[in-house]
Amino acid sequence: MIVTTFIGYVLPWGQMSFWGATVITSLASAIPVVGDTIVTWLWGGLSVDNATLNHFFSLHHLLPFILVGASLLHLAALHQYGSNNPLGVHSEMDKNASYPYFYVKDLN
């Protein structure tokens, strides 16, 4: 969601937006091997210009749908397969009832 808000910040395309896009997208160049390729793809060329604005406009409108879709897939998988239990603890045997134990403890 932070990426979506940053991309929305760039869309007015003023001086602050331009330099914000330049600085933030240049951070990707620190990624070894593929960083420069990512920056060139984000910019749509060798510098920040209209192609960058087109990319950010498209991403700003597509990312919320992608996030909702990924969230729905995650919830469907969680519903289908259940939560992970890496320790193998039987959850029914390892539970303490909240009432009356923790209720009384909170009153003290």
Torsion, Cα of 32, 34, 39, 40 (10° steps): 140
Residue of 33, 12, 30, 34 whose CA lies nearest to 21: 12
Q: Within its chain, how far is the Cα of 39 from the centroid? A: 19
- Predicted confidence (pLDDT) at residue 64 exceeds the cutoff of 70: yes
- Give mean pLDDT, residues 44-61: 90
- Predicted confidence (pLDDT) at residue 68 exceeds the cutoff of 90: yes
- Predicted confidence (pLDDT) at residue 72 exceeds the cutoff of 80: yes
Cα angle value 36/51/32 (rounded, 5°):
10
Residue of 82, 88, 56, 107 whose CA lies nearest to 48: 56
pLDDT, residue 95, reads: 67
Which of the two residues, 71 and 4, has the higher pLDDT score?
71
Where does 2-107 sit in CATH, by number? 1.20.810.10
Tokens (6 digits) for 86? 């890496």
CB 46 within 8 Å of CB 59? no
Tokens (6 digits) for 67? 């996030």
- Across the chain, mean pLDDT equals 85
Q: In the chain, what's the furthest Cα-to-Cα distance?
A: 66
Instruction: Tell me which DSSP letter residue 14 carries.
Output: S
- Break the chain into its structural domains and give their ranges: 2-107
- Predicted confidence (pLDDT) at residue 85 exceeds the cutoff of 80: no
Residue 38's pLDDT band, with cuts at 50, 70 and 90, is: very high
